[in-house]
């Protein structure tokens, strides 16, 4: 059965720009450095995200166009969170006792130039079938302490509905798996992917939570808002994940507009991530000091209910650590009796 919306997300992806020549012709980039950046991490810009780019150097362009500075990053490493070390079986990361990440797909709607999983994204399987998760699912089955499974990738929503559903069916057969979470960039980078049929399918496997990757208010287009509303209407609690990025969202007003926009479409701000030191992304780095300043101002400009957690992934796989500005949080002084 060909559903109109479903056909169209594949068509959008099929028309993606994915060669150095095409990108250089369109944006007047230097072919030598663009081709060299492709060696580090191939670029992928679908026509939807392309339509959001106003010109080279704007916040949308910076997120997806290769930059010669990627080649000068001397500090970054290929796997900053040591995920490979914490992967007992293929396509699964087990860092915290009660939850695991399943790497359900290697594909994404676009390639973010700051991607911390670029060592896998766009490599290996290039299909909508996805990798073989049998060992990963067996691992979850045999680890009773795992109650929360986070589907990530790549992007799980770059799988066909049937593929995603077969993973959900397998997980729902495991009694100790209580919560399923899906992390995705499609609402902001391929909203066509949120079809009535994928919503109907997801609804069958509640409780499903979703974390939506959004970095800039320009990403909150009418199409993106509609995609969020469709998911919210399907009873899926929506949270957001944002990466703090230099010259993309490291300004208070930009961050406020993004957070307010997310809240207005039913997405609860969840994480603001400090950039991971992945090789090739140093030019996106915003100092923690600046991040804390933004957080401090956010707490005064927004209801605390809408202020995300500012989190940093400790190097070497130490896990997430929440950063808070001085003076935030209350410590009742010793003179306070209660």
Ligand X SMILES: *Cc1c(COP(=O)(O)O)cnc(C)c1O
Q: Which of 59, 64, 63 is nearest to 22 (CA)?
A: 64
Q: HSE (CB half, 13 Å, CA atoms) of 110?
A: 28
How many residues bind to ligand X according to rule CB under 6 A?
Answer: 7
Which residues between 115 and 154 bind ligand X (CB under 6 A)? 150
Q: Which of 58, 69, 96, 119 is catalytic?
A: 96
Active site residue 320: yes
Q: Which of 48, 62, 108, 225 is catalytic?
A: 108
Strand, coil or helix: what is 4? helix
Q: Under the criterion CB under 6 A, does residue 101 sit at the interface with ligand X?
A: yes
By CB under 6 A, which span of 17-25, 88-96, 189-197, 229-237 interacts with ligand X? 88-96
Q: Which of 67, 155, 250, 276 is catalytic?
A: 276
Q: How far is the CB of 174 from ligand X (least distance, A)?
A: 17
Active site residue 95: yes
Q: Which of 26, 35, 38, 99 binds ligand X (CB under 6 A)?
A: 99
Nearer Cβ to ligand X (144/197):
144
Active site residue 96: yes
Q: Which of 62, 91, 95, 143 binds ligand X (CB under 6 A)?
A: 95
Going along 177-266, which residue ranges are E strands?
179-184, 208-213, 238-243
Taking each helix axis as running N to C, give the angle between helix 196-203 and helix 4-14, from 0 to 180 degrees, rounded to the nearest 10.
110
Nearer Cβ to ligand X (101/295):
101
Active site residue 301: no
Active site residue 321: no
What pairing do the DSSP bridges indicate for beta strands 179-184 and 92-96?
A: unpaired
Active site residue 99: yes
Q: Under the criterion CB under 6 A, does residue 96 sit at the interface with ligand X?
A: yes
Q: Under the criterion CB under 6 A, does residue 209 sit at the interface with ligand X?
A: no
By CB under 6 A, which span of 7-15, 95-103, 214-222, 324-332 interacts with ligand X? 95-103
Rounded to an integer, what distance in angstroms lies between the CA atom of residue 2 and that of residue 20?
Answer: 33
Q: How far is the CB of 148 from ligand X (least distance, A)?
A: 7
Task: Copy the structure tokens of residue 168.
Answer: 């959900």
Task: Print burial letters for 42-52: b (CB count within 10 Å at least 16), e (below 16).
Answer: bbbbbebbbeb
Size of the chain, expressed as the number of residues it contains: 338
Rounded to an integer, what distance in angstroms lies between the CA atom of residue 24 and that of residue 18?
Answer: 11
Phi first, then psi: give them for residue 229, nearest 5 degrees.
-65, -40
Nearer Cβ to ligand X (33/241):
241
CA-to-CA separations, 157 to 36, 109, 165, in angstroms, rounded? 29, 9, 11
Active site residue 285: no
Site string for ligand X, 317-336 (x = CB under 6 A): ---x----------------
Q: Are 194 and 230 in contact (CB under 8 A)?
A: yes
Q: How far is the CB of 320 from ligand X (least distance, A)?
A: 5
Q: What residues act catalytically?
A: 95-96, 99, 108, 112, 115, 117, 276, 313, 320
Q: For binding to ligand X (CB under 6 A), which residues are involved?
A: 93, 95-96, 99, 101, 150, 320
């Amino acid at each position: 059965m060909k559903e109109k919306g479903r056909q169209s997300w594949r068509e959008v992806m099929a028309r993606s720009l994915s060669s150095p020549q095409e990108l250089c012709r369109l944006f007047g980039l230097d072919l030598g450095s663009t081709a060299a950046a492709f060696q580090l991490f191939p670029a992928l810009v679908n026509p939807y995200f392309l339509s959001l780019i106003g010109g080279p150097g704007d916040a949308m362009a910076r997120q997806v166009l290769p930059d010669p500075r990627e080649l000068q990053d001397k500090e970054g490493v290929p796997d900053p969170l040591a995920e490979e070390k914490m992967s007992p079986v293929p396509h699964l990361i087990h860092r915290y006792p009660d939850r695991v990440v399943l790497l359900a797909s290697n594909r994404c709607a676009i390639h973010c130039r700051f991607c911390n999983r670029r060592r896998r994204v766009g490599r290996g399987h290039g299909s909508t079938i996805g990798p073989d998760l049998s060992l990963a699912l067996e691992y979850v089955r045999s680890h009773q302490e795992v109650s929360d499974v986070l589907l990530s990738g790549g992007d799980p929503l770059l799988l066909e509905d049937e593929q995603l559903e077969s993973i959900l069916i397998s997980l729902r057969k495991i009694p100790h798996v209580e919560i399923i979470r899906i992390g995705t960039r499609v609402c902001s980078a391929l909203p066509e992917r949120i079809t009535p049929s994928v919503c109907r399918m997801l609804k069958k496997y509640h409780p499903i939570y979703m974390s939506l990757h959004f970095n800039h208010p320009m990403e909150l287009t009418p199409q993106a808002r509609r995609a969020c509303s469709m998911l919210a209407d399907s009873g899926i609690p929506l949270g957001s994940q944002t990466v703090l990025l230099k010259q993309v969202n490291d300004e208070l007003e930009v961050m406020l507009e993004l957070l307010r926009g997310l809240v207005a479409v039913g997405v609860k701000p969840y994480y603001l991530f400090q950039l991971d030191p992945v090789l090739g992304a140093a030019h996106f780095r915003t100092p923690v000091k600046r991040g804390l300043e933004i957080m401090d101002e956010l707490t005064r400009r927004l209801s605390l209910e809408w202020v995300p957690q500012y989190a940093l992934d400790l190097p070497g796989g130490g896990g997430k650590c929440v950063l808070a500005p001085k003076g935030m949080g209350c410590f009742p002084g010793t003179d306070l009796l209660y």
